[in-house]
Amino acid sequence: MTERSRVLLGSVRATTGLLITAVTATAVVIIAGTTLPVVTTDPVGVSVDTSQTTQRTLVCQGSFAELGLDPENPEATRLTGDVDLVTAGESEGGDPLAADSSGSGSAPAVRTGQDTAQFGAAQSQRVSSEDIRGTAASACVEPVNEQWVVGGDTLTGTSTTLSVGNPGDVPATVRIDLYDENGPVDSGQTTGVLVPPKSERTVSLNGYAPERERLVAHVVSTGATVTVGMGIGQTVDIDPFSAGSVTRQIDPSERLVIPGVTNRNTLAENHTGEAQELDQFPVLVRAFTPGDQEGTATVRAVDENGRSYSLGEIAIEPGVAGQLEVDKWPTRAQGIIVDADVPIVGGAFGSVDGDERHDNAWFTPAPELPVGVAVAAPVVDSGELVLSNPGESDATVRVERAGDSEDDDAREITVPGGATVTADIRSGSMLRTEDQVHASVRVVGRGALAAYPILPIGDRTQELTVYTR
């Protein structure tokens, strides 16, 4: 190849390279300015059971935890007396939880059953010691990650505790946020309570929030789900006055239905035998919103015939435990309905006396019974079923034997619209309704008062959102 040929070939190659570069650059500019079709897929929501287990677990609180018996360790608790445990539906007993309290009382019991079964359990106790006397009853509950307890105080003469149970196989780190009549209680000591597996820890609220008139506790756990229950003991001077326990609640709601609220004070009569115009121990209704919006809660009492008695209103402030004091409880009233314009948790306080004895109880709102599902109704000794129908039309509740939906001996209870009625049923029965009904169990006598809600086994499915690539 001559020198002239090599020069010509180099020139062609250079020209070709420049042309390719120019075409490529032009294509990039064109593509950059062109909207290309995009394939998109919306996130998919799938309902799944995230528990990864085919069994349900209920934890019962165990014997009443009495506080302040050890002068060297005033925050220590001791289990006092034994509890009576009742069940409904098919369940089995598991190993009790190890309690951090001293004493020879009943350890926290554990009941397990199949995931698809409706079963329940409850406990009651006649507490009697030198310092505490009264009747306590509570529902056994499923462990969850977040829950609320409304009730109690830490004023002089009152001791209030929280018992946190962990039936799981891994430790639970529990945060307890307290709120009172002024707002959040600033106490970092309540955070990070460690509850080992298969154990229960009892926390004194008097040490964390002394001299508080109103208490609301928010309990959140990580690592494992837990249960929580409140114990309240009260003395007047040095004499025992009352004892009780409070069942937890889960979801805030704009309507709270509290069946069975009772206030009977025969000791409040004056020397002439005539009843006083105002109750010596008034009913209290407490409400709290976990949100950031102010609101108003309207409180009314209802009786067995559907008559409604306006009790007043509660101003709802975010983070503050609001409360209504009822000067005179309607004699025939059997329950309370609270309607709010923001989601709330709450509870009601009542009392009874007789035979020179007095007792108090905090009543927890009862969730609505699921329609068409047989719900276990564990009824403790001396307990009566209380049914509330907040709707306008009559409701019917069928009481069946456990596991027998075709029970020929089943009875039907009619609950008039807007009414709350009582009924005696066999312990271990199942309740079935197609209507809007809430149920509790109440123990009431001369100087004895306790109550707890009937808690259906909840739906464990949760919404998982799947993002595709």
Q: Give first-to-last CA distance, the chain, whole Å.
A: 58
**Residue-level pLDDT at 210:** 93
pLDDT tens for residues 305-338? 999 999 999 999 999 999 999 999 999 999 999 9
- Which range among 11-25, 151-165, 221-235, 331-345 shows the weakest confidence by mean pLDDT? 11-25
- Kindly state the average pLDDT of the residues 335-358: 94
> In angstroms, rounded to a whole number, what is the distance separating the alpha carbons of residues 107 and 245?
15
> In angstroms, rounded to a whole number, what is the distance separating the alpha carbons of residues 168 and 52?
13
- Kindly state the average pLDDT of the residues 330-349: 98
- Kindly state the average pLDDT of the residues 84-105: 90
Query: Mean pLDDT of all residues in the chain?
Result: 86
**Residue-level pLDDT at 409:** 78
pLDDT at 56 over 80: yes
What is the pLDDT confidence band of residue 45, given thresholds at 50, 70 and 90? low
Share of the chain above pLDDT 90, in %: 67
Q: Report DSSP letters for 194-257, one per residue.
A: EE-TTEEEEEEHHHHSTT-S--EEEEEEESS-BEEEEEEEEEETTEEEEEEEEE-B-S-EEEEE
- The SS3 call for residue 383 is strand
**Residue-level pLDDT at 401:** 87
Q: Report DSSP letters for 152-175, one per residue.
A: ---STTEEEEEEEEE-SSS-EEEE
> In angstroms, rounded to a whole number, what is the distance separating the alpha carbons of residues 352 and 350?
7
**Residue-level pLDDT at 117:** 84
55 close to 114: Cβ distance less than 8 angstroms: yes
**Residue-level pLDDT at 468:** 54
pLDDT tens for residues 154-165? 999 999 999 999
**Residue-level pLDDT at 385:** 98
What is the pLDDT confidence band of residue 41, given thresholds at 50, 70 and 90? low
Model pTM?
0.85
**Residue-level pLDDT at 8:** 38
pLDDT at 30 over 80: no
**Residue-level pLDDT at 460:** 52
Other Cβ atoms less than 10 A from the Cβ of 214: the count is: 21
- Kindly state the average pLDDT of the residues 454-468: 65
Distance of CA 42 to the CA centre of its chain: 35
What is the pLDDT confidence band of residue 422, given thresholds at 50, 70 and 90? very high
pLDDT tens for residues 236-274? 988 889 999 999 999 999 999 999 999 998 655 544 444
pLDDT at 431 over 80: yes
Q: Tell which wins on pLDDT, 38 or 230.
A: 230
What is the pLDDT confidence band of residue 18, given thresholds at 50, 70 and 90? very low
The conformation of residue 138, written as its DSSP 8-state character, comes to E
> In angstroms, rounded to a whole number, what is the distance separating the alpha carbons of residues 271 and 206?
37
What is the pLDDT confidence band of residue 465, given thresholds at 50, 70 and 90? low
pLDDT at 404 over 80: no
Most confident of 16-20, 110-114, 401-405: 110-114
- Kindly state the average pLDDT of the residues 114-118: 86
pLDDT tens for residues 271-313? 444 455 788 899 999 999 999 999 999 999 999 999 999 999 9
